[in-house]
Amino acid sequence: MNGIEQSLIGGVEGGTAILLPSLGELIGELSGVINLGTEGCMLAGALGAYAVAVTTGSALLGILGGIAAGAFFGLIHSYLSVYRKADQLASGLVVWFLALGLTSVFGTGYVNDSITPLTIISIPGLSKIPWIGPILFKHDILVYLSYALVVALVVILKKTRLGLLLRATGERPEVVGVAGNRPALVQLIAVTLGAGLAGIGGAQLSVGYVGNWFNDMTSGYGFIAVAVVLFASWKPARVMVGAYLFGVVLAASSVLQAHGIAVNQYLLDSLPYLATLIALIAVSKKGGSNAPEALTRALTDTT
Amino acid sequence: MSIFSPLAPKQDPPLDDLVNHEVEKKFSWSNLYRSSNMTFLLILTYIGSFFLFGLVALARGANPFGVFGAMLQSSVLNVGSIEQVILRAVPISLAALAVAVPARAGLVNVGGEGQLIMGAVAATGIGVAIGASVPGPIAWVAMAVAGAIAGAIWAGISGVLRTKMGANEAVTTLLMNFVANDVMLYLIYQPWRDKFSSGQPQSQPLAQSAQLPALFGSQLNLGVVIALVLAVVTWYLIRKSHWGFALRVVGGNQEAARRAGLPINKLLISSMLVGGSLAGLGGMLNLAGLEYQLVPGITASFGYVAFLASWLGRHDPIKVVVASLVFSAIALSGNGIQLGFGLDGSIVDVLLALIVMAPLFLSKTRKAAAK
- B11 burial class (0-12, 13-18, 19+ CB within 10 angstroms)? exposed
Q: Using alpha carbons, select from A300, A240, A245 the residue that is nearest to residue B170.
A: A300
Give the Cα separation of B31 and A290 in Å (integer): 43
Contact B360 A276 (CB under 8 A): no
Please give the mean pLDDT across all residues of chain A: 88
Contact B189 A266 (CB under 8 A): yes
ipTM: 0.91
HSE, CB side, 13 Å, CA atoms: give it for residue B239: 12
Judge whether B202 and B188 are in contact, CB under 8 Å: yes
The CATH number of whichever domain residue B294 belongs to comes to 1.10.3470
Q: What is the mean pLDDT of residues B107-130?
A: 93
Contact B360 A86 (CB under 8 A): yes
Contact A97 B308 (CB under 8 A): yes
Q: Do the domain assignments include residue B224? A: yes
For residue A32, CA distances in Å to A227, A266, A303 come to 16, 36, 18
- Percent of chain A with pLDDT strictly greater than 70: 95
Number of domains making up chain B: 1
Q: What is the mean pLDDT of residues B244-273?
A: 90
**Is the predicted pLDDT of residue B48 greater than 80, yes or no?**
yes
| Overall fold of domain A3-300 | ABC transporter involved in vitamin B12 uptake, BtuC (1.10.3470)
**Structure confidence at residue B25 (pLDDT):** 53
Q: Which of A266, A267, A295 to mutate to test the interface with B (most CBs of B within 10 A)?
A: A266
- Taking the Cβ of residue A270 and every Cβ of chain B, the question of whether any pair is shorter than 8 Å is answered with yes
**Structure confidence at residue A150 (pLDDT):** 95
- Taking the Cβ of residue A78 and every Cβ of chain B, the question of whether any pair is shorter than 8 Å is answered with no
Across the interface, of A86, A94, A276, the residue whose CB is closest to B308 is A94
Contact B361 A97 (CB under 8 A): no
Distance between A258 CA and the closest CA of chain B, angstroms: 18
**Structure confidence at residue A131 (pLDDT):** 76
Distance between A68 CA and the closest CA of chain B, angstroms: 18
Q: What is the mean pLDDT of residues B35-47?
A: 87
Report the amino acid identity of residue B119. Answer: G
Q: Which of B67, B264, B363, B364 to mutate to test the interface with A (most CBs of A within 10 A)?
A: B363
Structure confidence at residue A301 as a pLDDT band (50, 70, 90): low
Q: Do the domain assignments include residue B250? A: yes
Helices A183-203 & A141-159 angle (0-180, nearest 10)? 160
Residues 6+ positions from B45 with CB-CB distance below 8 Å: B357, B358, B359, B361, B362
Distance between A287 CA and the closest CA of chain B, angstroms: 9
Question: pLDDT digit string (tens) for A277-292?
Answer: 888 887 766 555 678 8
**Is the predicted pLDDT of residue B195 greater than 90, yes or no?**
no
Judge whether B327 and B352 are in contact, CB under 8 Å: yes
**Structure confidence at residue B13 (pLDDT):** 44
Contact list in B for residue A227 (CB cut-off 8 A) is: 171, 175
**Is the predicted pLDDT of residue B147 greater than 90, yes or no?**
yes
Interface A–B counts its CB contacts (< 8 A) at: 155
Q: Do the domain assignments include residue B11? A: no
Q: Which domain holds residue B319?
A: 81-323
Q: Do the domain assignments include residue B151? A: yes
Contact A227 B175 (CB under 8 A): yes
Most confident of B8-17, B291-300, B302-311: B302-311
Q: Which of B41, B67, B182 to mutate to test the interface with A (most CBs of A within 10 A)?
A: B182
Who has greater pLDDT, B165 or A23?
A: A23
Who has greater pLDDT, B38 or A79?
A: A79
Q: Where are the domains of chain A?
A: 3-300
- Percent of chain B with pLDDT strictly greater than 70: 91
Q: How many residues does chain B have?
A: 371
Q: Do the domain assignments include residue B186? A: yes
Across the interface, of B171, B361, B367, the residue whose CB is closest to A227 is B171
- Percent of chain A with pLDDT strictly greater than 90: 52
Give the Cα separation of B332 and B338 in Å (integer): 11
Q: Do the domain assignments include residue B44? A: no
Question: pLDDT digit string (tens) for B62-76?
Answer: 889 999 998 998 888
**Is the predicted pLDDT of residue B5 greater than 60, yes or no?**
no
**Structure confidence at residue B119 (pLDDT):** 96
Contact A102 B354 (CB under 8 A): no
**Structure confidence at residue A288 (pLDDT):** 55
Contact A36 B170 (CB under 8 A): yes
Q: Do the domain assignments include residue B231? A: yes
**Is the predicted pLDDT of residue B11 greater than 50, yes or no?**
no
Across the interface, of A80, A105, A288, the residue whose CB is closest to B346 is A105
- Taking the Cβ of residue A89 and every Cβ of chain B, the question of whether any pair is shorter than 8 Å is answered with yes
Give the Cα separation of A249 and A221 in Å (integer): 13
Residues 6+ positions from B4 with CB-CB distance below 8 Å: B15, B260
Residues 6+ positions from B124 with CB-CB distance below 8 Å: B187, B192, B203, B206, B287, B293, B294
Find the residue in A nearest to B254 (Cα).
A300
Q: What is the mean pLDDT of residues B265-292?
A: 94
Q: What is the mean pLDDT of residues B12-41?
A: 61
SS3 label, residue B217: coil
Contact B346 A215 (CB under 8 A): yes
Give the Cα separation of B352 and B303 in Å (integer): 13
**Residue A222's Cα: distance from chain center in Å?**
6
For A:206-235, CB contacts with B below 8 A are 215, 219-220, 223-224, 226-227, 230
**Structure confidence at residue A185 (pLDDT):** 95
Structure confidence at residue A261 as a pLDDT band (50, 70, 90): low
Give the Cα separation of B362 and A87 in Å (integer): 11
Contact B182 A269 (CB under 8 A): yes
Please give the mean pLDDT across all residues of chain B: 86
Q: What is the mean pLDDT of residues B190-206?
A: 81
- Taking the Cβ of residue A297 and every Cβ of chain B, the question of whether any pair is shorter than 8 Å is answered with no
**Is the predicted pLDDT of residue B12 greater than 50, yes or no?**
no
- Taking the Cβ of residue A8 and every Cβ of chain B, the question of whether any pair is shorter than 8 Å is answered with no
Contact list in A for residue B343 (CB cut-off 8 A) is: 105, 108
Contact list in B for residue A100 (CB cut-off 8 A) is: 346, 349
Q: Using alpha carbons, select from B316, B225, B332 the residue that is nearest to residue B21.
A: B316
Across the interface, of A98, A230, A274, the residue whose CB is closest to B353 is A98
**Is the predicted pLDDT of residue B17 greater than 60, yes or no?**
no
Contact A300 B254 (CB under 8 A): yes
CB atoms within 10 A of CB A82: 24
Give the Cα separation of B329 and B331 in Å (integer): 6
Across the interface, of A80, A215, A220, the residue whose CB is closest to B360 is A80
**Structure confidence at residue A291 (pLDDT):** 80
**Structure confidence at residue B371 (pLDDT):** 67
| HEC assignment per residue over chain A | CCHHHHHHHHHHHHHHHHHHHHHHHHHHHHCCCCCCCHHHHHHHHHHHHHHHHHHHCCHHHHHHHHHHHHHHHHHHHHHHHHHCCCCHHHHHHHHHHHHHHHHHHHHHHHCCCCCCCCCCEECCCHHHCCCHHHHHCEECHHHHHHHHHHHHHHHHHHHCHHHHHHHHHHHCHHHHHHCCCCHHHHHHHHHHHHHHHHHHHHHHHHHHHCCCCCCCCCCCHHHHHHHHHHHCCCCHHHHHHHHHHHHHHHHHHHHHHHCCCCCCHHHHHCHHHHHHHHHHHHHHHHHHHHCCHHHHHHHHCCC
Instruction: Point out the least confidently predicted range of A281-285, B6-10, B124-128.
Output: B6-10
